[in-house]
Amino acid sequence: MSITRKSILIIGLILLADQTLKILVKTNMTLYQQIPILGNWGILHFVENNGMAFGLSLPGSLGKILLTSFRIVAVVGIGYYLRHLIRLKAHTGLIITLAMVMAGALGNIIDSIFYGLIFSSSSPMEASKLFPEAGGYSSLLHGKVVDMFYFPVIKGNYPDWFRGGSSFVFFRPVFNIADSSISVAVAIILFNQKRFFRHVAEAEPGQAEAPSPPED
């Protein structure tokens, strides 16, 4: 299988898994509902957010539009760069991980663009409906991103002299498959920079030799 087909397959599989789980969660769980999957250490916890990975966001309606627009531009840029790497016959690992980043970005873009149109609003009392007769809960580009993975591995309290002994949770953010795909891919790229970007080093012209000192 060619690297192009592998990249398309990876993007398709990640998108399928991401969107399938999001639709199942949104149509079968009420907002903030929790289902333990690894005891108290791993929980399906349905939340929605207006913005970036791990529940981060930009404020207001304009912030939402700007963030979604930025994501679209970023995905187009990643797509062009991915095509460039394939033509350049760059390291397979770099192409695959970049495809994972693209898939993750696309997964959350779909939520932001379309979910407000095709789903009814979620609440702590009722799960959402897909393609409701009354219409969606928002307009184009104003959909909320669905998150569900929550791993509060460590719970405890700070010392009394630090933050007054208040409680803490690690790992607090709630995320989805798209977020995971991006984070894992970026980590792999960072740990393999020298191997993955070897084509850049090979393309750089050799350093010119230092001139010989003038003879007396």
| Residues with a known catalytic role | 147, 179
- Tallying the residues shown for the chain, one arrives at 216
- Integer Cα distance of 33 and 71 in angstroms: 29
Phi first, then psi, for residue 211 (nearest 5°) are -65, 145
